Amino acid sequence: MIVVDAGHGGSDPGAIGNSIIEKDLNLKISQYIYNRLRELGVPVKMTRTTDETLTPTERVNRVMNAFGASSDVLLISNHINAGGGDGAEIIYALRNSDRYPEIIAQEFEKTGQNVRKWYQRRLPSNPNRDYYFMQRDTSPIQSVTVEYGFLDSPGDDVSLLKNNWERLAEAVVRATALYKGISYGPAPGENIYIVKAGDSLYSIARQFNTTVDELRRLNNLTTSTLRIGQILNIPTITPPTGETTYTVKSGDSLYSIARQFNTTVDELRRLNNLTTSTLRIGQILTIPKITPPTTGGITYTVKSGDNLYDIARRYNTTVDEIKRANNLTTNTLRIGQILTIPTVTPPTTGETTYTVKSGDNLYDIARRYNNTVDAIKRANNLTSNLLRIGQQLIIPSSTPPVSGGTIYTVKSGDNLYDIARRYGTSVDAIKRANNLTSNLLSIGQQLIIPT
């Protein structure tokens, strides 16, 4: 059970300098830690979630009421220092050991932030009591105050606080997980690795396409000795322009990943300097760039139940065309697979497009656009009258009546012979004017009657 305190707030801004307002940055850091701890399944509460003024008494009450007064509760009070120093400081209560502050200091150093000290401070009037009220008045809770750096530092603190405060906050999350034995998973985009049994710097370096020296430099290691559960920073792998990365998950194989990204096993092995096809969960692979068609194609993400035939129909293209655009050798698809759909260029004769909605059918759509079912089917290469919600149809231009022509709506009992007689024309003339291939009519169908 953890309480996260964002120091200052409201009418109390804390320290201000170099475009940093302490109360605001404290709140950002606290919200970050709160959200990450929740992701890790940890019971956590905050003393404030908005820019509000809290008296010392109210702040302490919120701490003590969050989970009760218990030594099992951990309080993290977040602050930014001032006074011209450089580096982080961690203050802990007289009743607590220095193990947790020491782990925080170690994790800070991994981010590149130097640590001035972790310490206790006693009340001058009573050396048996803590100097700071957040330690003094929160017994028996385990309490630490974290000063992340100096906002008026002559060193690199200002840059770290402005540009890398998330990494500093994540360091506190990692330290908390290590100290409390919480199962830890990295934040999205966080390049870290948790040491497992059998690992060595050499094997980890090979896994992440880096070197032992780079791992030692990035983690301030003086030896090659590792411990299970140790968190290592992994250098960022910058893929070539247009490429992306993929994190290996349980059940993955080079073959399945290659299929998912429309590439080959050989290309993945070449790009990632792999000598075998063995993968490890959490391993980061560089994925080669997929070149879409140059004719303005769109992308489609495969969903459950999809197949190439249905997708081709939906976008008025063909299975072969989709396979060519995506270098597919089979018709098998995977949920989540991204397909490039080649652009369908409709004729430029005044046609329009229509997106099929629930309840639509070709007959109703044809009537709505003064068109025919046969003409719509021809324009869209349809072999049946079946439609799918979301399917896009090309609606061909209706041929307006010639001078003096009119529109007739078919009624019950009508046939082409009677209509032709009524308007002094012929069955063949009506069929030509409406692109009809048979004499069948449907009630409500609109016919162009030539003069």
The predicted pLDDT at position 350 comes to 52
CATH number where 88 lies: 3.40.630.40
| Residue 372 covered by a domain | no
- Residues 57 and 134 reside in one and the same domain: yes
Print pLDDT tens along the chain (451 aa).
999 999 999 999 999 999 999 999 999 999 999 998 988 889 999 999 999 999 999 999 999 999 999 999 999 999 999 999 999 999 999 999 999 999 999 888 877 789 999 999 999 999 999 999 999 999 999 999 999 999 999 988 898 898 889 889 999 998 999 898 887 766 655 677 778 888 888 888 877 777 888 888 877 788 888 887 777 877 765 555 556 778 777 777 887 787 777 677 877 887 777 877 788 777 778 887 654 444 445 777 777 777 887 787 777 777 878 887 777 877 888 776 778 787 654 444 455 777 787 778 887 787 777 777 877 887 777 777 888 777 778 787 654 444 446 778 888 888 888 888 888 888 888 888 777 878 888 777 778 887 6
428 DSSP assignment: H
Domain match, 227 and 274 both:
no
pLDDT at 254: 83
pLDDT at 288: 75
pLDDT of residue 220: 75
Residue 379, in any domain of the structure: no
Are 168 and 203 found together in one domain? Answer: no
Find the helix or strand (DSSP H, E) in which 20 lies. Answer: strand 20-21
| Judgement on whether residues 206 and 72 belong to the same structural domain of the protein | no
Same domain, 38 and 126: yes
DSSP 8-state assignment for residue 342: P
Q: Are the C-beta atoms of residues 54 and 47 closer than 8 Å to each other?
A: yes
Mark whether 298 and 283 lie in a shared domain.
no
Cα–Cα distance list, 249 to 23, 257, 432 (Å): 40, 10, 61
The total domain count for the chain is 5
Is residue 123 domain-resident? yes
Residue 19 lies inside a defined structural domain of this protein = yes
Residues 321 and 426 occupy one common structural domain:
no
- Distance CA(210)–CA(237), nearest Å, equals 9
In a domain, 387, yes or no: no
What was the pLDDT predicted at 291?
A: 45
Which of the listed residues 328, 345, 362 is the one where a domain comes to its end? 345
Whether residue 390 lies inside any domain: the answer is no
Q: Identify which of 94, 78, 104 has the alpha carbon closest to the alpha carbon of residue 15.
A: 78
> Which tokens belong to 378?
């021809």
φ, ψ of residue 431 to 5 degrees: the values are -65, -40
Q: Which domain holds residue 434?
A: 406-449
pLDDT of residue 404: 46
Q: Which residues of 300-338 are buried (b: 16+ CB within 10 A; e: fewer)?
A: bebeeebebeebbbbbbbbbeebbebbebeeeebeeebe
Cα gap 11→55, rounded to integer Å: 10
Nearest CA to 307 among 290, 296, 322?
322
Q: Does 17 map to a domain?
A: yes
Same domain, 143 and 212: no
Contacts of residue 377, defined as CB under 8 A and 6 or more positions apart, other chains included, come to: 362, 383, 385
Selection from 318, 242, 243, 224 nearest residue 287 by Cα:
243
Residues 43, 79, single domain; the answer is: yes
Q: Are residues 92 and 166 in the same domain?
A: yes
CB count within 10 Å of CB 282 equals 18
The letter for the amino acid at 355 is T
CA of 105: how far to CAs of 87, 147, 195, in Å? Answer: 10, 11, 19
Q: Is residue 252 part of a domain?
A: yes
Cβ-Cβ contacts under 8 Å for 276 (sequence gap 6 or more): none
8 Å CB contact between 433 and 399 = yes
Shared domain for 223 and 155, answered yes or no, is no
Tell whether 203 and 171 lie within a shared domain. Answer: no
Residue 327 maps to which CATH number? 3.10.350.10
